[in-house]
């Protein structure tokens, strides 16, 4: 069965592009446009991996990440932070809230796919 | 004279009216209440409207105005004028009569044709009188009496033909000629009063009045005595100054801030054997030192740098004599340096006698004088500078914020574009042909380039705003160089170049931020590859006594001397790119240099660098150095930084020293190398448990010092306990728990000590 990936990003066009690539690579993609929706879908849809933007409406990516990582039921879901804030401080903060990896925008498609494969054990 | 304003109406907006408005408007005692003309396009009406003066088309309307003191008819229409006289008997003396005629003539002389009342003649600021054909004065205005120095009555009784002074200066003769119809003008006539012997200087104008039965002459007189006096005083002062200036036996010249000589004294001109006019306008270094740049020891250069007077010995063989030159800066009222006074003394005699005079009495006086003058100006200047600086800092902060925000905002659209292109390139929506691949690859490469620019911009803005913090730790520089060399190897080979790496045999550890040093090396290597088509790129590291030198050199096209001086400027994209290469951001070298500077090092460039083989380019070599720190020096710097921050934030700093207890016992179990590695591991373990970025753990000799910023005693004890537990757990895990005993010591600033050095000494003190 194909793996389910949740993309949480408030840029629908970017989500669309990513979906095309991920679906072409055989993944099932679901999307959320803000932090709250992302958090809800992470719990209801039980994805295999979450690609999480940091600057999000309603609830920022750090908080979503921290909340999920605190919860024993969801903390095993790998979270890849995905953001334009590529500075060291942001990276460090991401680590502190328990994110598993970090990808800076604009990203290398090959690097994204490699990271996915690494976390999904393929 | 009444201070009350005279309300005037002018009838007629033609040429006469126009001139009258021009003449009367703005006079303090006159108010133009109306300008009347049927023709709305008459020049007088147009001007009146422009000046905001009331206008009318019918004089009858304004003639009812009771506040009018004067109605001046310049139309020359006698019928209208007679009607006006009938209606306004109170102002019946308005126009006509000798005074109106007089003013008409005056204004004709000055402006054009019109009539005016006697009132205005009486108020004229210049002297007016009329001489008849017998030489008698028929009319004189008050101003004339004042000029003459006589009472009006006395003056009127004079006969100009009988006046000795008029004969002496030839005025009587001129007036006689004027009676025959010849205008005259006599300027700057020195006039001596017959009785008082008072001297005055006057300008005379004589206008023949030939309309009368017997001819008369209208005289207009201006007393310019005071003006002349002032002029002469200035002239005298200038002459006096000139004489004094030229009498000074020292060589004196004045320069503007661009080293151009604006004034010289005689001694100076004499010694150069050139007339002053040839010296003025030349640059002092061209003239004296025969160079095209300021002389290196020039005291003006120093004065320009610090706005202070300077005295320097100028011993340039080209001048032909040793000089002691004293320079005092000159400031304008805004406190800007606009030039300087140079006083030079020939000190060959003193030199000969081998007496070194550091400052003569005269020099001291000059310096004191200059200091007094400049002090005030400097204070003002500094105040202004401080204010400007504050504003600049604010602007800079806003700029950095702006750059940071914009850069972030740019990344998202960039990601979407890149991903779109990548999707097509990867053939996911369908197959594409070679040509399309080529075009899209170019597009994607340029998106990457844009992303690099954004990263560089962010780096620059973070460096400039002080947001970039270094995470210094002990790094193996050889390892970093190897890492960069390996990363660049494929790119260098691809271009057909050779990569040379020259490293010293010994391992060199320095305290630096390894990511940032990699960035510096990368930027330098990238730059070299970009500008090198043939030959090699060489990365070299060498160890000096107190520093480490690292260079990246190439056999590329080199850097022109012009660009060499601007090399580290932001956005310098010089045209040394041969053919189509990968374009840089113009920020790489600037960032590299700034990072090195943050490490207390420096960076410089040399070109040409390599000329051994003809088919290679002149090449360039960029070198940077980094100071070598001992762990103690590094700890000292770190303590200094956190203590400074604590003083600013009014917080505390704590140090926890973890040392090995019972060393003799320890040495029975372990070799020195093993002890060393245990300490090293402890340092790593402690590092990984630190609370925040400002904190650090550092192995110094046989201990690990943990520096805790914003941490009081109580907090330090808590952290200490946590560190102890972490270390114990670790040692237990490694099976070392029984063999290694640890000592923990706490020290808090400012509670335990107020001195940084004391903190440092306590931390590294060797215990028994």
Cα distance between residue B117 and residue B155, in whole Å:
22
Binned at pLDDT 50, 70 and 90, residue B495 comes out as confident
Q: What is the pLDDT of residue A50?
A: 93
Binned at pLDDT 50, 70 and 90, residue B539 comes out as very high
Cα distance between residue B269 and residue B73, in whole Å:
67
CA of B408, closest CA in chain A: separation in Å? 5
Of A14, A55, A92, the CB nearest to B415: A14
Cα distance between residue A39 and residue A41, in whole Å:
6
Across B489-495, average pLDDT: 88
Nearest CA in chain A to B452: A106
In this predicted structure, the answer to whether residue B218 has a pLDDT above a threshold of 90 is no
Nearest CA in chain B to A25: B428
Across B678-697, average pLDDT: 79
Q: What is the pLDDT of residue B581?
A: 47
Across A99-110, average pLDDT: 83
Q: What is the pLDDT of residue B312?
A: 77
Express as a percent the part of chain B with pLDDT over 90: 4
Interface of B with A in 379-418 (CB under 8 A): 408-412, 414-418
Provide ipTM, 2 decimals: 0.78
Which residue in A27, A105, A110 has the most chain B C-beta atoms within 10 A of its own C-beta, making it the best mutation to test that interface? A105
Q: What is the pLDDT of residue B121?
A: 66
Structure tokens at B163: 């006046």
Instruction: Give the residue carrying structure tokens 């020290």.
Output: B747
CA of B401, closest CA in chain A: separation in Å? 14
Of A20, A21, A106, the CB nearest to B415: A106
Q: What is the pLDDT of residue B383?
A: 65
Cα distance between residue B142 and residue B47, in whole Å:
32
Inter-chain residue contact B418 with A106, CB threshold 8 Å: yes
Asked if B446 reaches chain A (Cβ–Cβ under 8 Å), the answer is: no
**Edge-first strand listing for the sheet containing B251-256:** B261-264, B251-256, B337-346, B323-331, B310-314
Inter-chain residue contact A13 with B693, CB threshold 8 Å: no
| Tens digit of each residue's pLDDT (9 = 90 or more) over B416-459 | 888 889 889 888 888 889 888 888 888 888 888 888 888 888 88
Q: What is the pLDDT of residue B112?
A: 30
Residue that wins the pLDDT comparison between B294 and A22: A22
Per the document, the length of chain B is: 768
In this predicted structure, the answer to whether residue B636 has a pLDDT above a threshold of 90 is no
Of A99-108, B227-236, B497-506, B633-642, minimum mean pLDDT range: B227-236
| Tens digit of each residue's pLDDT (9 = 90 or more) over B336-383 | 777 777 777 777 766 655 444 444 555 666 666 666 665 666 566 666
Of B414, B423, B448, the CB nearest to A17: B423
Q: Would you list the DSSP string of B514-542?
A: HHHHHHHHHHHHHHHHHT-SSSEEEEEEE
In this predicted structure, the answer to whether residue B214 has a pLDDT above a threshold of 90 is no
Of B411, B428, B429, the CB nearest to A105: B411
Handedness of CA B280, B284, B286, B289 (dihedral sign): positive
Q: What is the pLDDT of residue A89?
A: 62
**Chain A residue numbers touching B408 (CB-CB < 8 A):** 55, 84-85
CA of A105, closest CA in chain B: separation in Å? 6
Across B520-531, average pLDDT: 89
Asked if B423 reaches chain A (Cβ–Cβ under 8 Å), the answer is: yes
**Chain B residue numbers touching A13 (CB-CB < 8 A):** 416
Tell which residue, B748, B745, B749, B752, has the closest CA to residue B658. B745
Across B698-720, average pLDDT: 84
**Chain B residue numbers touching A24 (CB-CB < 8 A):** 428
Binned at pLDDT 50, 70 and 90, residue B141 comes out as confident
**Chain A residue numbers touching B424 (CB-CB < 8 A):** none
Q: What is the pTM of this model?
A: 0.46
Q: What is the pLDDT of residue B541?
A: 92
Cα distance between residue B432 and residue B434, in whole Å:
7
Inter-chain residue contact A105 with B409, CB threshold 8 Å: no
Across B574-578, average pLDDT: 45
Q: What is the pLDDT of residue B521?
A: 93
Q: What is the pLDDT of residue A44?
A: 92
CA of B419, closest CA in chain A: separation in Å? 6
**Chain B residue numbers touching A92 (CB-CB < 8 A):** 693
Cα distance between residue B38 and residue B221, in whole Å:
38
| Tens digit of each residue's pLDDT (9 = 90 or more) over B247-287 | 777 778 888 878 888 888 888 888 778 888 888 888 888 87
Of B377-386, B468-477, B497-506, B603-612, minimum mean pLDDT range: B377-386
Q: Is B135 helix (H, G, I), strand (E, B) or coil?
A: coil
Inter-chain residue contact A92 with B455, CB threshold 8 Å: no
In this predicted structure, the answer to whether residue B94 has a pLDDT above a threshold of 50 is no
Across B303-321, average pLDDT: 77
Cα distance between residue A37 and residue A31, in whole Å:
9
Interface of A with B in 20-49 (CB under 8 A): 20-21, 24
Tell which residue, B99, B122, B104, B221, has the closest CA to residue B171. B221
Of A46-60, B194-208, B580-594, minimum mean pLDDT range: B580-594
Task: Give the count of beta carbons closer than 10 Å to the beta carbon of residue B443.
Answer: 15
Of A5-14, A85-94, B4-13, B133-142, minimum mean pLDDT range: A85-94
| Tens digit of each residue's pLDDT (9 = 90 or more) over B673-687 | 888 888 888 888 888
In this predicted structure, the answer to whether residue B659 has a pLDDT above a threshold of 50 is yes
Q: What is the pLDDT of residue B2?
A: 38
Cα distance between residue B591 and residue B568, in whole Å:
8
Q: What is the pLDDT of residue B578?
A: 39
Inter-chain residue contact B693 with A21, CB threshold 8 Å: no
Inter-chain residue contact A106 with B411, CB threshold 8 Å: yes
How many angstroms separate the Cα of B363 from the Cα of each of A59, B343, B370, B503?
Answer: 74, 8, 10, 57
Inter-chain residue contact A21 with B423, CB threshold 8 Å: yes
Q: A19 with A43: CB under 8 angstroms?
A: no
Whether the upstream peptide bond of residue B180 has omega within 30° of 0, thus cis, is no
**∠ CA(B346), CA(B349), CA(B351), 5° rounding?**
90
Of B409, B420, B458, the CB nearest to A17: B420
**Chain A residue numbers touching B419 (CB-CB < 8 A):** 14, 17-18, 21, 106-107, 109
CA of A108, closest CA in chain B: separation in Å? 8
Cα distance between residue B58 and residue A53, in whole Å:
83
In this predicted structure, the answer to whether residue B572 has a pLDDT above a threshold of 70 is no
Q: Is B561 helix (H, G, I), strand (E, B) or coil?
A: helix
CA of B462, closest CA in chain A: separation in Å? 10
Please provide the average confidence, as pLDDT, over all residues in chain A: 85
In this predicted structure, the answer to whether residue B579 has a pLDDT above a threshold of 60 is no
Cα distance between residue A20 and residue B437, in whole Å:
19
Structure tokens at B578: 């041969």
Tell which residue, B377, B385, B291, has the closest CA to residue B340. B377
**Chain B residue numbers touching A17 (CB-CB < 8 A):** 416, 419-420, 423
Q: What is the pLDDT of residue B28?
A: 56
Across B701-729, average pLDDT: 84
What is the maximum alpha-carbon separation in chain B?
Answer: 143
Structure tokens at B132: 């008849």
Chains A and B form CB pairs within 8 A to the count of 55
**Chain B residue numbers touching A61 (CB-CB < 8 A):** none
Please provide the average confidence, as pLDDT, over all residues in chain B: 77
Q: Is B745 helix (H, G, I), strand (E, B) or coil?
A: strand
Q: A72 with A55: CB under 8 angstroms?
A: no
Nearest CA in chain B to A11: B412
Interface of A with B in 62-121 (CB under 8 A): 84-87, 92, 104-107, 109
């Amino acid at each position: 069965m194909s793996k389910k990936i949740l993309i949480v990003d408030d840029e629908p066009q970017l989500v669309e592009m990513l979906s095309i690539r991920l679906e072409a690579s055989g993944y099932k993609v679901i999307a959320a446009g803000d932090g709250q929706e992302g958090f809800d879908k992470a719990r209801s849809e039980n994805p295999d991996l979450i690609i999480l933007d940091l600057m999000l409406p309603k609830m920022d990516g750090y908080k979503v990440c921290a909340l999920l990582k605190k919860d024993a039921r969801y903390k095993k879901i790998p979270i890849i932070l995905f953001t334009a804030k590529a500075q060291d401080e942001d990276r460090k903060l991401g680590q502190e809230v328990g994110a598993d990896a970090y990808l800076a925008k604009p990203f290398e498609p090959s690097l994204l796919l490699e990271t996915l494969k690494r976390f999904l054990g393929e | 004279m009444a201070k009350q304003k005279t309300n005037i109406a002018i009838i007629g907006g033609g040429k006469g009216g126009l001139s009258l408005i021009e003449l009367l408007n703005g006079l303090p005692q006159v108010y133009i209440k109306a300008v009347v003309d049927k023709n709305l396009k008459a020049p007088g009406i147009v001007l009146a409207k422009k000046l905001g003066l009331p206008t009318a088309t019918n004089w009858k309307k304004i003639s009812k105005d009771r506040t009018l003191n004067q109605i001046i008819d310049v139309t020359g229409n006698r019928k209208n004028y007679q009607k006006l006289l009938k209606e306004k008997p109170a102002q019946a003396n308005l126009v006509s009569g000798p005074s109106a005629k007089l003013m008409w003539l005056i204004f004709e002389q000055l402006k054009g044709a019109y009539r005016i009342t006697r009132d205005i003649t009486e108020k004229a600021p210049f002297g007016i009188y009329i001489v008849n054909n017998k030489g008698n004065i028929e009319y004189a205005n008050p101003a004339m009496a004042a000029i003459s120095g006589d009472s009006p009555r006395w003056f009127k009784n004079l006969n100009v033909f009988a006046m000795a002074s008029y004969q002496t200066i030839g005025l009587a003769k001129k007036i006689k000629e004027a009676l025959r119809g010849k205008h005259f003008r006599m300027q700057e006539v020195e006039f001596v009063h017959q009785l008082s012997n008072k001297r005055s200087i006057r300008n005379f104008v004589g206008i023949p009045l030939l309309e009368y039965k017997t001819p008369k002459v209208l005289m207009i007189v201006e007393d310019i005595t005071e003006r002349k006096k002032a002029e002469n005083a200035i002239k005298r002062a200038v002459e006096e100054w000139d004489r004094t200036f030229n009498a000074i036996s020292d060589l004196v010249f004045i320069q503007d801030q661009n080293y151009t000589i604006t004034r010289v004294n005689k001694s100076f001109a004499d010694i150069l054997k050139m007339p002053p006019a040839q010296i003025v306008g030349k640059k002092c270094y061209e003239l004296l030192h025969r160079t095209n740049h300021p002389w290196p020891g020039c005291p003006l250069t120093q004065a320009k740098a610090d706005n202070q007077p300077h005295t320097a010995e100028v011993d340039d063989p080209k001048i032909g004599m040793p000089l002691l030159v004293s320079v005092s800066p000159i400031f304008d009222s805004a406190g800007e340096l606009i030039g300087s006074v140079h006083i030079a003394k020939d000190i060959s005699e003193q030199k000969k006698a081998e007496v070194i005079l550091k400052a003569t009495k005269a020099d001291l006086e000059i310096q004191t004088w200059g200091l007094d003058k400049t002090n005030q100006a400097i204070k003002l200047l500094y105040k202004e500078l401080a204010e400007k600086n504050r504003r600049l800092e604010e602007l800079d902060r806003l700029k950095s914020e702006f750059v940071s925000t914009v850069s972030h905002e740019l990344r998202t659209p960039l990601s979407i574009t890149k991903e779109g292109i990548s999707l097509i390139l990867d053939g996911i929506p369908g197959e594409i042909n070679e040509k399309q691949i080529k075009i899209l690859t170019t597009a994607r490469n340029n998106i990457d380039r844009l992303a690099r620019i954004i990263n560089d911009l962010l780096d620059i803005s973070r460096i400039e705003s002080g947001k970039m913090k270094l995470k210094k730790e002990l790094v193996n520089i050889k390892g970093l160089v190897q890492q960069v060399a390996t990363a660049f190897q494929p790119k260098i080979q691809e271009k057909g170049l050779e990569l040379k790496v020259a490293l010293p045999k010994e391992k060199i550890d320095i305290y630096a931020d390894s990511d940032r040093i990699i960035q510096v090396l990368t930027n330098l290597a990238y730059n070299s590859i970009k500008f090198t088509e043939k030959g090699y790129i060489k990365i070299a590291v060498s160890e000096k006594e107190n520093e480490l030198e690292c260079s990246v050199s190439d056999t590329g096209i080199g850097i022109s001397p012009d660009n060499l001086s601007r090399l580290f400027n932001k956005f310098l994209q010089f045209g040394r790119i041969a053919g189509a290469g990968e374009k840089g951001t113009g920020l790489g070298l600037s960032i590299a240099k700034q990072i090195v500077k943050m490490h207390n090092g420096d960076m410089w460039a040399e070109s040409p660098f390599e000329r051994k083989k003809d088919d290679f380019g002149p090449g360039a070599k960029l070198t940077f150095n980094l100071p070598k720190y001992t762990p103690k020096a590094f700890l000292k710097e770190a303590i200094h930084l956190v203590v400074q921050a604590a003083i600013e934030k009014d917080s505390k700093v704590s140090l926890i020293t973890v040392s090995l207890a019972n060393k003799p016992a320890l040495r029975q179990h372990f070799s020195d190398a093993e002890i060393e590695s245990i300490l090293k591991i402890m340092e790593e373990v402690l590092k990984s448990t630190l609370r925040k970025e400002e904190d650090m753990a550092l192995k110094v000799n046989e201990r690990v010092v943990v520096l805790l910023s914003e941490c009081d005693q109580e907090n330090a004890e808590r952290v200490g306990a946590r560190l102890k537990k972490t270390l114990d757990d670790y040692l237990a895990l490694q099976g070392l728990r029984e063999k290694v005993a640890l000592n923990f010591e706490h020290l808090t600033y400012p509670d335990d000590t107020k001195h940084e050095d004391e903190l440092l000494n306590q931390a590294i003190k060797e215990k028994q």
